Amino acid sequence: MIQRDTILKDVNKLLNVALTPEHNGLQVEGKREIKKIVFGVSATMELFKCAKEAGADMVMTHHGLIWNNAETITGVFGRRVSFLIKNDINLASYHLPLDRHPKLGNNAQLAAKMGLKNIKPFGTYHGIDIGFVGEVKPARDIENFCALLNGECVVCGPEKVKKVAVVSGGAHDMLGQAIEAGADLFVTGSRDEYVLEQCREACINFIAMGHYNSEVYGIKALMEYIKKHYKVEVQFIDVPNPF
């Protein structure tokens, strides 16, 4: 058992939440003493119900309930908040901090999964670099990346990939930045109608893993960090989402 605020103070410092413009950290307050934390990608009712059944005192997610603006506690949002309060379950969420962290973040984890070398910051969002770009040595076939990441692949660039840019989640609008960076492949979570023609005209490969699927990595890495540093039970709960 450990105090909630002890864990949160450490994680807030680790992820440097002060650098990002949104609300990160504790979003819904529950019990102070923590025996078990459930981890998941998104703060949904399905995850909360599973967390209650698992006996969790806290839920930690990548996508939280509260972003930049306050909401009225009504509708779907209200029911989610009410469920947490009723069951005395804390909710702590880390969005951009868990995208951009150089070791635990979604993009750092994906870069490691792809074996990228000479990694540098990439992908500017609200003045902050949240992704990474790196080299592939030796160059590998684009089919290798398509199989590895199991996403929707647009093959319009070099067959041999030497440089990859990655920004998890809904970052298909950063394709232009990947083109400017000279990437052979851009990896993200989402896609839109214009992506295909932009890839054709710029001769770049593109993989959309699915927003959810591209962002399971950071929260799992955070779970392992907490498991290693604190005497608290942890569990990742997958709520599958193809989008």
pLDDT in tens, 88-115: 999 999 999 999 999 999 999 999 999 9
- For 113-142, what is the mean pLDDT? 96
Q: Record the pTM.
A: 0.95
Q: Is the omega angle on the peptide bond into residue 97 within 30 degrees of 0, that is, cis?
A: no
Cβ-proximal residues to 61 (8 Å cutoff; 6+ apart), any chain: 39, 40, 41, 42, 43, 47, 91, 92, 93, 94, 219
Across residues 61-73, what is the average pLDDT?
Answer: 87
Q: pLDDT tier at 241 (50, 70, 90 boundaries)?
A: very high
Could you give the CA distance from residue 85 to residue 74 in angstroms, rounded to a whole number? 14
pLDDT-derived band at 20, boundaries 50, 70, 90: confident
Helix, strand, coil content of the chain in percent (nearest 5): 35, 30, 35
Please state, in angstroms and as integers, the Cα–Cα distance from residue 91 to each residue in 71, 82, 127, following that order: 16, 12, 27
71 has a pLDDT exceeding 90: no
Tell whether the model's pLDDT for residue 136 goes beyond 90: yes
pLDDT of 68 > 80? The answer is no
> Residue 181 pLDDT > 90, yes or no?
yes
Element holding 152 (H helix, E strand) = strand 152-154
CB-count exposure of residue 128 (10 Å: 0-12, 13-18, 19+): middle
State residue 22's pLDDT score.
86
Tokens representing 29 are: 């307050």
